[in-house]
């Protein structure tokens, strides 16, 4: 690939724009994103933020409401925050019309300062791109299925005895995991009890994930000052909705091997959080644990691993590596494996299967405006912009990881279950090609479920149907693309307002079902 770079003439963005190679520039151009404008946009906004200049345009700021707080109250407080800000115009948060209202997504002016917002600090709102909401909608509801013929199988769900199991295989820092837990009680599925399992290979990211669950009071823990939450109101209104219990567990583990059978030589994945255990330990209150409480928690977690792994019904099988199951140890390759002829090897521990699996895979993040901006910042300090995209060896390693994650996710699905594969990359290699590989590799079992998102049910391709408060969506034969989009140049004057066009990052998602 030609690594020639050209220099952009814009004074503010000169340094950063000149770091962008031509191949990267044309990559973005094919997705309708003018990378030089993005660089401009970013430097303009950095300047505007620093000087509180209201003349900048900003990509939309999407937020998702925490359903454990009263929705009206959160909206009222948000409106107050907008009214008292000097940077943004006084306005109402606007709901996203093409996404299930129960997902709780709203758009705010792009320069709304999220981290400084009291609503955000209190855990009333999450900062989350609307395309991520689409991934959760596709995962847990059939309302976006293009060929949907029947209502969700809620009857079946409400009568089934076993819990509904959802896996998020690359879960950290946990925004989609929280959205899964928040949406499930309100989604069309309505199972009576639910287990949500999050897995991530990164120890520090899974630690962040645990903190995020705590910040947002998950799982379902009503705030003492909120007598009526959205969920409880809905429960009262809808008599057929049964009490929902959600258990959440987090594992620090490699998602590419999470499905493998574990015998006594291997260690089961490390369970780092169990909601039930956390509630018992803290009595439902958020509090810092002392050393002995942490030791008790570790012990409890160790015994709990069996809830997600079983040994073919043989409850007496010892856990793999009985001495210390909670520490991942590398096997020393120099030490020969002991031959095991005992029953342990005949009944290895296996991960239980799931009804829904989300594989929000590690990717080159080239579709995320925030990540591009971060990269440009890093590039100014001597880094490289999108090295994963422009380095063939790194890209193919990454694609291999994505395939392994997608394949593991698929193997962990129950027959009849569905998975969503998603990335925030625009590259075909990491999206459509991975999906095509999945369909080929699991040809006898995998089928693609076409999904679509549109406003007011307008047909795909009709002008206006997919631009109003909606992303530029393109539904291809192998998935849905949310193309990145910036606000029109020099649109605003004075304080920033909500732009009626979606402005945000790129995203890809595909829904795959495992045939029965």
Ligand X SMILES: C[S@@+](CC[C@H](N)C(=O)[O-])C[C@H]1O[C@@H](n2cnc3c(N)ncnc32)[C@H](O)[C@@H]1O
Q: What are the catalytic residues? A: 424
Rounding to the nearest 10 degrees, give the CA dihedral for residues 484, 180, 242, 276. -160
Query: Which of 342, 441 has the CB closer to ligand X?
Result: 441
Query: Which of 8, 175 has the CB closer to ligand X?
Result: 175
259 binds ligand X (CB under 6 A): no
- Residue 499, CA distances (Å) to 35, 158, 453, 473 in order: 20, 41, 20, 17
Residue numbering of the annotated binding site for S-adenosyl-L-methionine: 340, 360
Query: Which of 67, 255 has the CB closer to ligand X?
Result: 255
Q: Where are the beta strands (DSSP E) in 187-286?
A: 193-200, 245-252, 270-274
Least distance (Å) between residue 394 CB and ligand X: 14
219 binds ligand X (CB under 6 A): no
Least distance (Å) between residue 138 CB and ligand X: 14
412, 354 in Cβ contact below 8 A?
yes
> Helices 175-183 and 203-215, interaxial angle, to 10°?
40
Find the DSSP H helices in 367-505: 369-380, 387-390, 392-411, 432-441
Judged by CB under 6 A, the chain residues 274 through 293 that form the site for ligand X are none
Least distance (Å) between residue 131 CB and ligand X: 11
Query: Which of 172, 305 has the CB closer to ligand X?
Result: 172
362 binds ligand X (CB under 6 A): yes
CA–chain centroid gap for 46, Å, is 27
Tokens representing 235 are 């429960």
CA–CA separation, 492 and 91 (whole Å): 15
Least distance (Å) between residue 362 CB and ligand X: 4
Least distance (Å) between residue 175 CB and ligand X: 4
Query: Which of 199, 435 has the CB closer to ligand X?
Result: 199
Sole window of 10-18, 23-31, 251-259, 386-394 interacting with ligand X (rule: CB under 6 A): 251-259
Tokens representing 439 are 């369909």
74, 68 in Cβ contact below 8 A?
no
145 binds ligand X (CB under 6 A): no
Residue from 247, 256, 263, 317 binding ligand X (CB under 6 A): 256
- Give the helix/strand (H/E) hosting 208: helix 203-215
Residue from 61, 68, 165, 176 binding ligand X (CB under 6 A): 176
Q: What is the DSSP letter of 262?
A: B
Residue 184 phi, psi (nearest 5): -50, -45
360 binds ligand X (CB under 6 A): yes
CA–chain centroid gap for 173, Å, is 8
Query: Which of 24, 171 has the CB closer to ligand X?
Result: 171
Q: What is the DSSP letter of 487?
A: P
Q: What is the DSSP string of 86-111?
A: SSB-----EE-TTS-GGG-EEEE-TT
Query: Which of 230, 362 has the CB closer to ligand X?
Result: 362
Q: What is the largest CA-CA distance in the chain?
A: 76
34 binds ligand X (CB under 6 A): no
173 binds ligand X (CB under 6 A): yes
170 binds ligand X (CB under 6 A): yes
Number of residues lying near ligand X (CB under 6 A): 17
Least distance (Å) between residue 313 CB and ligand X: 28
205 binds ligand X (CB under 6 A): yes
Residue 445 CB-density burial (10 A; 0-12 exposed, 13-18 middle, 19+ buried): middle
Query: Which of 27, 508 has the CB closer to ligand X?
Result: 508
171 binds ligand X (CB under 6 A): yes
Tell me the per-residue interface mask from 328 to 347 with ligand X, x by CB under 6 A, - otherwise: --------------------
Residue from 191, 255, 417, 505 binding ligand X (CB under 6 A): 255
125 binds ligand X (CB under 6 A): no
Least distance (Å) between residue 170 CB and ligand X: 3
Q: 508: closest CA among 446, 443, 453, 445?
A: 453
423, 371 in Cβ contact below 8 A?
no
- Residue 261, CA distances (Å) to 304, 347, 349, 404, 416 in order: 17, 9, 5, 16, 22
Residue from 174, 219, 417, 484 binding ligand X (CB under 6 A): 174
Residue from 200, 230, 274, 308 binding ligand X (CB under 6 A): 200
388 binds ligand X (CB under 6 A): no
CA–CA separation, 342 and 320 (whole Å): 13
Sole window of 228-236, 254-262, 370-378, 470-478 interacting with ligand X (rule: CB under 6 A): 254-262
Least distance (Å) between residue 349 CB and ligand X: 19
199 binds ligand X (CB under 6 A): yes
172 binds ligand X (CB under 6 A): yes
CA–CA separation, 364 and 353 (whole Å): 29
The contact set with ligand X (CB under 6 A) reads 170-176, 199-202, 205, 254-256, 360, 362
């Amino acid at each position: 690939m030609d690594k020639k770079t050209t220099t952009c003439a814009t004074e503010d963005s000169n340094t950063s724009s000149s770091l962008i190679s031509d191949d990267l520039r044309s990559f973005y151009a094919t997705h309708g994103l003018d990378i030089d404008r993005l660089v401009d946009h970013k430097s303009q906004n950095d300047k505007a933020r620093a000087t509180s200049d209201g003349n900048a345009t900003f990509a939309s700021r999407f937020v998702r409401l925490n359903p454990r707080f009263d929705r009206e109250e959160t909206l009222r407080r948000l409106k107050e925050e907008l009214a008292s800000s000097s940077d943004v115009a006084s306005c109402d948060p606007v709901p996203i019309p093409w996404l299930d209202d129960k997902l709780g997504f709203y758009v705010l002016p792009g320069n709304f300062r999220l981290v400084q917002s009291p609503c955000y600090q209190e855990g009333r709102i999450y900062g989350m791109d609307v395309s991520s909401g689409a991934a959760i909608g596709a995962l847990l509801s059939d309302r976006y299925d293009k060929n949907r013929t029947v209502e969700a199988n809620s009857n079946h769900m409400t009568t089934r005895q076993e819990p509904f199991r959802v896996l998020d295989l690359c879960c950290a820092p946990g925004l989609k995991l929280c959205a899964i837990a928040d949406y499930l009680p309100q989604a069309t599925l309505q199972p009576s009890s639910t287990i949500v399992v999050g897995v991530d290979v990164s120890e520090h990211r899974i630690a962040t994930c645990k903190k995020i669950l705590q910040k947002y009071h998950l799982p379902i823990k009503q705030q003492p000052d909120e007598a009526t939450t959205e969920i409880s109101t809905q429960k009262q209104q809808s008599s057929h909705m049964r009490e929902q219990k959600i258990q959440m567990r987090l594992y620090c583990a490699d998602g590419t091997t999470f499905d493998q059978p574990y015998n006594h030589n291997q260690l089961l994945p490390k369970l780092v959080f169990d909601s039930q255990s956390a509630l018992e330990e803290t009595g439902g209150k958020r509090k810092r644990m002392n050393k002995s409480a942490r030791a008790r928690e570790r012990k409890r977690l160790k015994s709990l691993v069996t809830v997600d792994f079983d040994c073919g019904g043989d409850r007496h099988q010892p856990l793999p590596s009985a001495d210390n199951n909670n520490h991942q140890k590398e096997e020393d390759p120099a030490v020969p494996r002991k031959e095991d002829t005992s029953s342990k090897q005949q009944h290895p521990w296996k991960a239980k299967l799931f009804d829904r699996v989300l594989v929000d895979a590690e990717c080159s993040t080239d579709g995320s405006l925030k990540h591009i901006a971060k990269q440009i910042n890093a590039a100014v300090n001597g880094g490289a912009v999108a090295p994963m995209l422009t380095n063939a060896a790194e890209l193919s390693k990454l694609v291999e990881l994505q395939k392994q994650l997608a394949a593991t996710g698929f193997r962990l699905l129950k027959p009849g279950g569905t998975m969503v594969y998603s990335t925030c990359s625009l590259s075909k290699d990491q999206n459509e090609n991975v999906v095509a590989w999945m369909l080929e590799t699991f040809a006898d079992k995998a089928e693609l479920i076409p999904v679509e998102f549109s406003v007011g049910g307008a047909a795909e391709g009709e002008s206006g149907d997919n631009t109003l408060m909606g992303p530029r969506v393109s539904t291809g034969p192998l998935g849905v693309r949310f193309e990145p989009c910036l606000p029109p140049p020099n649109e605003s004057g004075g304080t920033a307002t909500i732009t009626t066009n979606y402005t945000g990052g790129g995203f890809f998602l595909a829904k795959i079902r495992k045939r029965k």
